[in-house]
Amino acid sequence: MTDIPPPPGSGEHPAGETTPPPPAAPAAPIDYGTGGYPGAYSGPVPDQDSKTMAMLCHLLAIFTGWIGPLIIWLIKKDTSPFVNDQGKESLNFQLTLLIGYLVGIVTACLIIGYFIVLACWICSLIFCIMGTIKAKDGIAYRYPFAIRMVK
């Protein structure tokens, strides 16, 4: 045996003993609700079909506006609490955007109307993609701004 001490951080004591590795941190549970948001989803863990239909509520909203989420919500609201929650969320956001589009169209005679329509379209695209990704993972998504018309 040599008298040279081991390099720092090697985990060995001078007597040749090894230190046990630190305990692993527990894995964080998946949050199937949305924490502090009012009206957060608090139902059962969604199955794969519910995740897919909720994902379609958000994804179809990009292409069809409020019609796609409305159809899926009406078909699946009684059979899946997760689709019921996410369908209403997507529908409320699309109806809020519809109000924004109408304001933009009315004010189009002023130049600002075009910017309002563009801002609504960009918000729709970004937030619907975020909702699609969250719903695919089974996590309830809440849009940052939406008038809760459908309860």
Query: Taking the alpha carbons of 64, 70, 73, 75 in that order, is the dihedral positive or negative?
Result: negative
Looking at per-residue confidence, does 148 or 11 come out higher?
148
Lowest mean pLDDT among 19-23, 66-70, 97-101, 108-112: 19-23
Confidence grade of residue 146 (pLDDT, cut at 50, 70, 90): confident
- Is a pLDDT exceeding 80 seen at residue 130? yes
Average pLDDT, the chain: 82
pLDDT score recorded for residue 30: 46
Across the range 113-135, mean pLDDT stands at: 94
* Structure-block tokens of residue 28: 């964080």
Q: Which of 26-30, 126-130, 141-145, 146-150 has the highest mean pLDDT?
A: 126-130
Distance from C-alpha of 117 to C-alpha of 59, rounded to nearest angstrom:
20
- Is a pLDDT exceeding 60 seen at residue 87? yes
pTM: 0.70
| Domain residue ranges in the chain | 48-136
φ, ψ dihedrals at 12, nearest 5°: -105, 140
pLDDT score recorded for residue 34: 47
CA proximity to 86, closest of 30, 126, 36, 34:
34
- Is a pLDDT exceeding 60 seen at residue 145? yes
What lies within 8 Å, CB to CB, of 90 at 6+ separation is 57, 58, 61, 69, 73, 128, 131
Across the range 18-24, mean pLDDT stands at: 66
pLDDT score recorded for residue 13: 55
pLDDT score recorded for residue 31: 47
* Structure-block tokens of residue 103: 């304001």
